[in-house]
């Protein structure tokens, strides 16, 4: 009897195990169909990747221009029509509808954006064609060079990486893609759990960037995977991919991008004219902090899209208005000059909701074929492969990431090349909320920036060191090879760069900071309390707190040290060390908060008047306070109200008079 019971128990155990195994296989198969292919059945077939653009593309009849060059329309209108017909979550670049459960911290922890939402959006999702109308009828040379597309990644999310590859294949003429090289920079996630079908406690886990990625990419013959043997960082990983490239042109993309319609021919058309130009796609963010859109993957433009790349003297990347004389017509510039780097317009993909949109002020971008850019935004650009190596590629002494966009930009301009933004080429990009991976010990962005300054900026490096005195004693490694390269290439001086390329930069970011109008603590006349910032990030409210002056030495970085500077905005810090966040108010009665400084006045423009009020011209109101609630807010101006009167610790009467005279 006991033997029968034992056999029954064994049979029951095997049956339960089999049921669990089969259910897991079923769930995995269902998950694989949903996520590996991730194609809505109402639009894509069961294998959405088979609908790659160009497989059935009819070549258009070429037209011969007055210059004798045969040009053609490279659009794939059938693919564009399929995109336009798609519907579903995230389609047409619309933000994914979020619930509070979609905003869990775990969704951001490994990637810096909401991977949970990304996993629920099709890998083949459509994005809006947001190019300027002038872009759509443009023709490009019938014979264009092909390109190797280099995509480095480290612990990238499955769906964001695959969506990058899908978008490139779906929206690129296949004859222009020599290959796509995915370079794995020693991804070391022990496992990654996929959430779309299962609760977090029941997730199926796999090392998705290893064997699953290899198996998935077997369906895409133009894609190959390379892997580093140790953590190299973004810079050296790009170099590894570039060294293996076979295409005539190298195109670098990040691993969380989405290519837009007809993005590639404008880049290669430029490349086809000149090899001395680096071309940049226009980079569109998937996010906008101020509108709380970092969860839903909405696609948006960056603020001030009619801008060009620049920097301040702390080596922060900035954007400044494009002078009209630096815009030009010529749809095939690269084709005749190999010394050119071209960059696409970078659209905004929201890291929260994955919405896709253009940058504010985008209406005029595309009225011209190219725009000179002193500095590229990051790592999205195309360059002639041979010329890239003649330039020495990236400086291999730069560690992990940071500073490389300055190094390559200065090198290109100073050593005989050009760099241009191409408004008719657009690529969406997710800007992470934070860097989700650890940087190896002993490596810092400061080291990279000092290295770039020492090699390329000549006497102008002193302006950086004045603002960053800690750089003076920082080791930047052996720079002998880079300085010899600069001499060998007969590169020009940084003074030449500032005079001929970035001549308008000092207007926005002067080398020597003009005197401030007022600085130090800002004390309220009614309560005797001081304005203070607790958290130096966008969205933080300005608070009233007990004044710290007189209770000890106050460092410039303290939240009560503020500067009313030459841009007529109020920043945290003393005049020589201001943070990049400004007092901002959106309307009458709104709170006064911090927001990233944009230098364009508007909501960040203030007047310090003779009656001690801080007047906000945009809202026609004055800064007020509530000591009991410790709030600082906008209110109807009342010259008799002490709560609207503020006393700066130090003032410069001459500058204040100049400000107020200019306001009249």
Q: Is 323 left (phi over 0), alpha (psi -120 to 50) or beta?
A: beta
Q: How confident is the model at residue 163 (pLDDT cuts 50, 70, 90)?
A: very high
Does residue 270 sit in the same domain as residue 410?
yes
Q: How confident is the model at residue 562 (pLDDT cuts 50, 70, 90)?
A: very high
Does residue 333 sit in the same domain as residue 306?
yes
pLDDT of residue 475: 92
**Can you tell me which residue has the tokens 């360059």?**
383
Residue 368 scores a pLDDT above 70:
no
Give mean pLDDT, residues 332-349.
74
Phi, then psi, of 464 in degrees rounded to 5: -70, -45
36 is a domain residue: no
Which residues are CB-neighbours of 433 under 8 A, at least 6 positions away? 108, 112, 113, 294, 351
pLDDT of residue 599: 82
Axis-axis angle for helices 445-456, 480-488 (nearest 10) = 40
CA distance 63 to 57: 18
What the block records as the tokens of 597 is: 């400084």
Cα torsion through 477, 480, 482, 484, rounded to 10: 180
422 and 370 Cβ atoms separated by less than 8 Å: yes
26-59 as b/e: b if 16+ CB within 10 A: eeeeebeebbbbbbbeebbeeebbebbbbeebee
Does residue 506 sit in the same domain as residue 643?
no
Does residue 572 sit in the same domain as residue 499?
no
CATH number at residue 545: 2.80.10.50
CATH number at residue 301: 3.90.550.10
CA distance 659 to 615: 12
pLDDT of residue 434: 64
19 is a domain residue: no
Strand, coil or helix: what is 602?
helix
Does residue 481 sit in the same domain as residue 618?
no
- What is the distance between the terminal CA atoms of the chain, rounded to a whole angstrom? 104
DSSP class per residue in 516-545: PSEEEEEEETTT--EEE-SS-STTPBPEEE
Give mean pLDDT, residues 488-508.
96
pLDDT of residue 635: 97
pLDDT of residue 339: 85
pLDDT of residue 367: 52
pLDDT of residue 484: 98
564 is a domain residue: yes
5 is a domain residue: no
Phi, then psi, of 253 in degrees rounded to 5: -130, 160
Structural domain span for residue 154: 67-512
571 is a domain residue: yes
- Better pLDDT: 56 or 497: 497
**Can you tell me which residue has the tokens 């996993």?**
119
pLDDT of residue 103: 60
pLDDT of residue 372: 84
Q: How confident is the model at residue 440 (pLDDT cuts 50, 70, 90)?
A: low
Does residue 333 sit in the same domain as residue 427?
yes
Does residue 93 sit in the same domain as residue 118?
yes
User: What does pTM read for this prediction?
Assistant: 0.81
What the block records as the tokens of 411 is: 């090198």
Q: Which of 470, 495, 512 is the last residue of a domain?
A: 512
46-60, 356-370, 445-459, range with greatest mean pLDDT: 445-459
CA distance 50 to 36: 13
Residue 198 scores a pLDDT above 80:
no
Does residue 230 sit in the same domain as residue 312?
yes
Tell me the per-residue pLDDT of 237-295, one tens digit each, with 9 for 90 and over.
Answer: 999 999 999 999 999 999 999 999 999 999 998 555 556 667 666 655 544 333 334 45
Residue 389 scores a pLDDT above 90:
yes
291 and 404 Cβ atoms separated by less than 8 Å: no
What the block records as the tokens of 342 is: 């071209």
Q: Which of 512, 540, 555 is the last residue of a domain?
A: 512
Does residue 446 sit in the same domain as residue 527?
no
Cα torsion through 325, 329, 332, 336, rounded to 10: -40
Residue 202 scores a pLDDT above 60:
no
21 is a domain residue: no
Tell me the per-residue pLDDT of 508-552, one tens digit each, with 9 for 90 and over.
Answer: 999 998 999 999 999 999 999 999 998 878 889 999 999 987 555
Q: How confident is the model at residue 401 (pLDDT cuts 50, 70, 90)?
A: confident
449 is a domain residue: yes
Q: How confident is the model at residue 35 (pLDDT cuts 50, 70, 90)?
A: very low
Percent of the chain scored above 70 by pLDDT? 74
49-58, 194-203, 523-532, range with greatest mean pLDDT: 523-532
In a 10 Å sphere around its CB, with 0-12 CB exposed, 13-18 middle and 19+ buried, how is residue 97 labelled?
exposed
* HEC assignment per residue over 214-248: HHHHCCCCCEEEEECCCCCEHHHHHHHHHHHCCCC
DSSP class per residue in 24-78: HHHHHHHHIIIIII---TTTS-SSGGG--TTTTPPPPPPEE-TTS-EEE----HH
Average pLDDT over the chain, rounded to an integer: 82
pLDDT of residue 539: 87
Does residue 391 sit in the same domain as residue 245?
yes
Does residue 546 sit in the same domain as residue 445?
no
Percent of the chain scored above 90 by pLDDT? 56
Split into its structural domains, the chain has a count of 2
Q: How confident is the model at residue 302 (pLDDT cuts 50, 70, 90)?
A: low
pLDDT of residue 25: 38
Q: Which of 484, 512, 540 is the last residue of a domain?
A: 512
pLDDT of residue 407: 97
658 is a domain residue: yes
Tell me the per-residue pLDDT of 592-628, one tens digit each, with 9 for 90 and over.
Answer: 999 988 888 899 999 999 999 999 999 999 999 999 9
Give mean pLDDT, residues 331-345.
69
Does residue 209 sit in the same domain as residue 316?
yes
Tell me the per-residue pLDDT of 100-110, one tens digit each, with 9 for 90 and over.
Answer: 666 666 666 67
């Amino acid at each position: 009897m006991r033997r029968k019971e034992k056999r029954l128990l064994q049979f029951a155990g095997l049956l339960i195990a089999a049921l669990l195994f089969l259910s897991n296989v079923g769930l995995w198969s269902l998950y694989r169909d949903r996520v590996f292919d991730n194609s809505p059945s109402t639009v894509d077939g069961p294998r959405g990747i088979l609908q790659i653009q160009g497989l059935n593309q009819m070549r258009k009849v070429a037209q011969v221009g007055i210059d004798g060059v045969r040009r053609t329309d490279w659009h794939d209108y059938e693919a564009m029509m399929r995109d336009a017909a798609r519907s579903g979550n995230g389609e047409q670049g619309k933000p994914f509808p979020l619930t509070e459960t979609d905003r869990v911290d775990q969704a951001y922890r490994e990637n810096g954006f909401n991977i949970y939402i990304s996993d629920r959006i099709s890998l083949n999702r459509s994005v809006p064609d947001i190019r300027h109308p002038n872009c759509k009828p443009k023709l490009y040379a019938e014979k264009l060079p092909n390109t190797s597309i280099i995509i480095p990644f480290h612990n990238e999310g499955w769906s964001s990486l695959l969506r990058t590859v899908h978008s490139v294949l779906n929206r690129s003429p296949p004859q222009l893609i020599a290959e796509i090289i995915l370079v794995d920079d020693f991804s070391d996630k022990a496992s990654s759990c996929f959430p779309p079908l299962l609760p977090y406690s029941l997730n199926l886990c796999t090392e998705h960037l290893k064997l699953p990625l290899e198996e998935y990419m077997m369906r895409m013959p133009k894609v190959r995977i390379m892997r580093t043997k140790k953590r190299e960082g973004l810079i050296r990983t790009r170099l590894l991919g570039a060294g293996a490239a076979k295409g005539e042109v190298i195109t670098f993309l990040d691993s969380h991008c989405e290519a837009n319609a007809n993005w590639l021919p404008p880049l290669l058309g430029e490349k086809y004219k000149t090899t001395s130009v680096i071309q940049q796609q226009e980079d569109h963010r998937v996010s906008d902090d101020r509108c709380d859109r970092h969860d839903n993957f909405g696609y948006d433009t960056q603020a001030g899209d009619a801008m060009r790349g620049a920097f301040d003297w702390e080596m922060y990347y900035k954007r400044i208005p494009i002078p009209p004389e630096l815009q030009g017509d010529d749809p095939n510039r690269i084709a005749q000059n190999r010394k050119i780097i071209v960059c696409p317009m970078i659209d905004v993909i929201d890291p929260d909701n994955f919405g896709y949109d253009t940058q504010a002020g985008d209406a005029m971008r595309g009225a011209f074929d190219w725009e000179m850019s002193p500095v590229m935004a990051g790592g999205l650009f195309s360059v002639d492969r041979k010329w890239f190596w003649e330039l020495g590629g990236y400086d291999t002494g730069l560690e992990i990431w940071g500073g490389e966009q300055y190094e390559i930009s200065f090198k290109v301009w100073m050593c005989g090349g050009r760099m241009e933004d191409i408004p008719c080429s657009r690529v969406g990009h997710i800007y992470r909320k934070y860097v989700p991976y650890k940087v190896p010990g002993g490596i810092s962005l400061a080291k990279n920036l000092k290295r770039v300054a020492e090699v390329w900026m000549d006497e102008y490096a002193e302006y950086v060191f004045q603002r960053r005195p800690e750089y003076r004693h920082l080791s930047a490694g052996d720079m002998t090879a880079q300085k010899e390269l600069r001499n060998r290439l007969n590169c020009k001086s940084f003074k030449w760069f500032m005079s001929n390329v970035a001549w308008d930069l000092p207007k926005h970011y002067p080398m020597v900071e003009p005197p401030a109008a007022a600085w130090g603590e800002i004390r309220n006349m009614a309560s005797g309390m001081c304005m203070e910032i607790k958290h130096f990030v966008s969205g933080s409210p300005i608070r009233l707190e007990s004044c710290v002056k007189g209770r000890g030495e106050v460092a410039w970085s303290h939240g009560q040290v503020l500067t009313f500077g030459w841009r007529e905005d109020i920043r945290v810090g003393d005049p020589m060390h201001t943070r990049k966040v400004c007092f901002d108010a959106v309307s009458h009665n709104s709170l006064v908060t911090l927001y990233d400084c944009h230098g364009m006045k508007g909501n960040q423009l203030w007047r310090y008047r003779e009656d001690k009020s801080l007047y906000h011209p945009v809202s026609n109101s004055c800064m007020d306070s509530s000591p009991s609630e410790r709030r600082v807010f906008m209110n109807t101006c009342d010259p008799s109200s002490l709560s609207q009167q503020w006393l700066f610790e130090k003032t410069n009467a001459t500058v204040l008079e100049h400000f107020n005279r200019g306001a009249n």
